[in-house]
């Protein structure tokens, strides 16, 4: 089987980063066209990257199982391994650090949906890798919550906290996460079900503000997100309802244990935090090196 990867959701954050990383590594990259025959698209592929998610949490209870059904059928017919970017919703509000050994105890509907989806893969006879990460960050890919909300007003000298600004939380720089996906795809001895946490960078918004100040000479103010406005909009705005359910994660300190990834990829190095932050700064604000 050739080094061919089928990317589902190639226009999204992780999907586009994965497509770029696999292409750079010399893989033949196929981008799935939504609505086409997935099994036919997967024919001859060694790997299927399932980065397909309903936008803005729309109708997860119906769509996530439907996507899982389709991907399982494509994997079964093609013989390809599947790689899924996992999240931290399945852990609920347990104390961290979270690892592959941490039990799944979701406290949200979306966490329960993801836990059920992962359980289906675990109980199948299909090879799958769950590459689990915290919040996605990448200054080169607009549209992430980090850019749309947290750093939306950075050019005006402020950042927005969706919860406790001092809470250290897990984040994944998308180019790093995608490089890890490529490196894991070349591992010959992964178990049929591989749950691999990606530690990325764990930081609080106060630490982020300090790094921005270090690089720009200007400390941004930290403002609280107006959750009351979302509560008012929730009856008529689906995204407002769905974001409200995940509010606990912005107050709950958490990080991902990197021991398993380090054992599998001992030479892997993440992009330095300062460089990640620099990529999010308005260019006129950043100091010349």
| Count of domains forming the chain | 1
Each residue's pLDDT expressed in tens, for the chain with a length of 289 residues: 589 999 999 999 999 999 999 999 999 999 999 999 999 999 999 999 999 987 767 788 899 999 999 999 999 999 999 999 999 999 999 998 999 999 999 999 999 999 999 999 999 999 999 999 999 999 988 788 899 889 999 999 999 999 999 999 999 999 999 999 999 999 989 999 999 999 999 999 999 999 999 999 999 999 999 988 877 877 766 667 777 889 999 999 999 999 999 999 999 999 999 999 999 998 754 444 4
CATH of the domain at 71: 3.40.50.720
Given a contact cutoff of 8 angstroms between Cβ atoms, the answer to whether 268 and 184 are in contact is no
pTM to 2 decimal places: 0.94
Q: Is residue 159 part of a domain?
A: no
Q: What is the span of the domain harbouring residue 195?
A: 4-142+170-202+253-268
Query: 18 in the Ramachandran plot: left (φ > 0), alpha (ψ -120 to 50) or beta?
Result: alpha
Q: How many residues are present in the chain?
A: 289
- The residues near 220 (Cβ < 8 Å, ≥ 6 apart) are 154, 157, 158, 159, 209, 212, 213
Q: How many CA atoms are closer than 13 Å to the CA of 268, on its beta-carbon side?
A: 23
Q: Is residue 48 part of a domain?
A: yes
Residue 241, CA distances (Å) to 38, 187, 225, 249 in order: 31, 40, 15, 15
DSSP H or E stretch at residue 194: strand 193-197
């Amino acid at each position: 089987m050739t080094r061919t990867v089928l990317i589902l959701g190639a226009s999204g954050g992780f999907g586009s980063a994965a497509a770029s990383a696999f292409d750079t590594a010399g893989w033949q990259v196929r981008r799935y066209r939504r609505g086409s025959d997935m099994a036919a698209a997967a024919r001859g592929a060694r790997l299927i990257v399932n980065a397909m998610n309903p936008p803005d949490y729309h109708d997860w209870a119906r769509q996530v199982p439907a996507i899982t059904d389709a991907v399982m059928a494509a994997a079964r017919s093609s013989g390809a391994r599947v790689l899924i970017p996992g999240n931290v919703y399945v852990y609920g509000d347990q104390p961290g650090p979270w690892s592959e050994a941490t039990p799944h105890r979701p406290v949200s509907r979306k966490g329960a949906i993801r836990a059920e989806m992962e359980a289906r893969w675990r109980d199948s006879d299909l090879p799958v890798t769950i590459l689990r990460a915290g919040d996605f960050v990448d200054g080169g890919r607009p549209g992430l919550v980090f850019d749309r909300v947290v750093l939306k007003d950075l050019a005006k000298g402020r950042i927005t906290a969706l919860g406790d600004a001092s809470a250290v939380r897990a984040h994944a720089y998308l180019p790093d996460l995608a490089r890890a996906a490529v490196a894991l795809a070349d591992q010959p001895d992964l178990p049929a079900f591989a749950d691999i946490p990606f530690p990325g960078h764990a930081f609080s918004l106060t630490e982020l503000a300090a790094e921005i100040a270090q690089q720009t000479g200007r400390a941004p103010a930290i403002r609280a997100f107006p959750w009351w406005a979302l509560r008012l909009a929730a009856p008529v705005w689906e995204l407002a309802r769905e974001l409200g359910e995940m509010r606990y994660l912005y107050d709950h300190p958490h990080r991902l244990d990197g021991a398993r990834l380090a054992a599998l990829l001992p030479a892997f190095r993440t992009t330095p935090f300062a460089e990640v932050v620099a990529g999010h700064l308005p260019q006129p604000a950043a100091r010349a090196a």
